[in-house]
Amino acid sequence: MQKGVVVFVICLCVLLAVTFAGCTSQQEKNVYDQSSMADLEAYVQDAAGYVQTVGVEAALEEFDAKDGRFTQGDWYIYAYDYSGILRAHPYERDVVGTCRGNWTDVRGLPVIRIAQETAANGGGYIAYLYPAPTGGIINESAGETYEPKIGYAYPAGADLWVGSGMYFGDLTVEGEGACPAAVSGMISLVEAGAGYAQAEGTDAALAAIGNASGQFVDADGHHLYAYDYNGTLLAHPYLGDRVGDNLMDRKGPFGMENIRALTETAADGGGFVVFVWPNPDNGNLDELKIGYVLPVNDEWWLGSGTYLSEITGEDSALFVR
């Protein structure tokens, strides 16, 4: 009888311990504002801290879980090692354990390489295109579903880094609405340029685009540029000496053919492209740029862009921190 009482007490203690641990876990689960870049940064850094607290394997198991503490609505943590191996992802379990170091978004941006280098240099914001999860599944082959994201990558140990991101549609910056003001202004400039070209004709539009003090250079320095579908620069307010040059094969520091990606996007009807380009306001250091392009007709297209630093408010020069 006494032995039975002892067993009962032990079982009761175990049950209470498990229950208490579960409650503690729920109490400790942080809630983040999913419209805030500051919260995105804190979220990823918290995940990195979690790795240090519970160890790599336990943390990866938690990151992998669709109902885990770090999978909250549209936010989730992915983890990579520095050889490009995906170590955890709650919505892409089928590719966990594979090398994705050369994976690019739908327009050719080598996202994993850029994020990995960013994490290796202390962490920071990135930008890229990515499809949203639908029904708990991410379909990377559905090119039409890709949307621009702001991401954050951060080191989580000697051979691990973690990251996450938020779509522009979820982002609110200083009350400006769901799309960053710099991006909204840039899109409006492109739409105005396309409308002007349709109304006034090609010659007038190219002259206006090439005018550094004209109507298509705004107060924030955003400007239009124009190319034909062969990759020949037709007009640019600051690169007049390159007009007539074919830049189709121009490559960024990670090998992305930027003008080709922009041209193909315009040929597909227009949209966003994220690419790397020197920022003249920051010593011409390379920086991620969110571009937007539209076709004018079947002969030429136009576009503009905004640098990542205009959205984050931080120095976003790649790997110079």
Tens of pLDDT, residue by residue over 164-210, are: 999 987 765 444 445 788 898 899 999 999 999 999 999 999 999 99
What pLDDT was estimated at residue 230?
Answer: 98
* CB neighbour list of residue 114: distance below 8 Å, 6 or more residues apart: 126, 128, 254, 276, 288, 318
Under DSSP, is residue 127 helix (H, G, I), strand (E, B) or coil? strand
Please provide residue 292's backbone torsions phi and psi, each rounded to the nearest 5 degrees.
-140, 130
Residue type, 260: R
Q: How many CB atoms lie within 10 A of CB 20?
A: 10
Computed over its alpha carbons, how large is the radius of gyration of the chain? 24
Q: In the structure encoding, which two tokens stand for residue 119, read together?
A: 């994490």
Structural tokens at position 101 = 């170091």
Collapsing DSSP to helix, strand or coil, 118 comes out as helix
Look at residue 300 and tell me whether its pLDDT is greater than 50: yes
The β-bridge partners of 164 are: 152
Tokens of 236: 């640019």
pLDDT in tens, 125-142: 999 999 987 777 888 999
Task: Map out the domains of the chain with their CATH numbers.
Answer: 35-166 (3.30.450.20), 181-312 (3.30.450.20)
Using pLDDT thresholds of 50, 70 and 90, give the confidence band for residue 74: confident
- 213: which 2 tokens? 């003090």
Residues 6+ apart with CB under 8 A from 10: none
Q: Residue 90's pLDDT band (boundaries 50, 70, 90)?
A: very high
pTM of the model: 0.87
